[in-house]
């Protein structure tokens, strides 16, 4: 939480500092447990019923609370194809979930 500039809790504060640093981006990209969470979600998703499109829509909704736009869905499908060039099916789905977990709309409350 230090990296996200969370208060240290040794004193009260009226509001959180607004911060957005490359260190926070690095954490969300590379922190092992965070990446494992994506891998785990990918595994359960693959075991579920439904077409590839349905799964992409479902995981997008799970992560962001809303369904993807047509454009987003197209982008995610292309992503899945290109990630399959770099590893097996589980790896490709892991990278998709990992990507969703790195979106601005996932880490910031609007």
83 belongs to the binding site for another protein (CB under 8 A)? yes
Mark residues 4-43: x for contact with another protein by CB under 8 A, - for none: -x--x-xx-----xxxxxxxxxxx-xxxx--x--------
CB of 74 to another protein, least distance (A): 10
Mark residues 40-79: x for contact with another protein by CB under 8 A, - for none: -----------------------------x-xx--xx-xx
Q: Are 61 and 67 in contact (CB under 8 A)?
A: yes
Task: Count each helix (H run) and each strand (E run) in the chain, helices first.
Answer: 6, 0
Q: How many CB atoms lie within 10 A of CB 11?
A: 6
């Amino acid at each position: 939480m230090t990296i996200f500039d969370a208060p240290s809790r040794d004193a009260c504060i009226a509001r959180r500092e607004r911060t957005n640093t490359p260190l926070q981006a690095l954490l969300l990209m590379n922190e092992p447990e965070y990446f494992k969470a994506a891998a785990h979600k990918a595994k359960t998703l693959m075991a579920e019923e439904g077409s590839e499109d349905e799964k992409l829509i479902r995981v997008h909704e799970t992560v962001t609370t809303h369904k993807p736009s047509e454009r987003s869905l197209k982008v995610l499908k292309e992503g899945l194809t290109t990630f399959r060039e770099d590893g097996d099916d589980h790896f490709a789905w892991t990278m998709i979930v990992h990507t969703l977990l790195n979106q601005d709309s996932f880490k910031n409350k609007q």
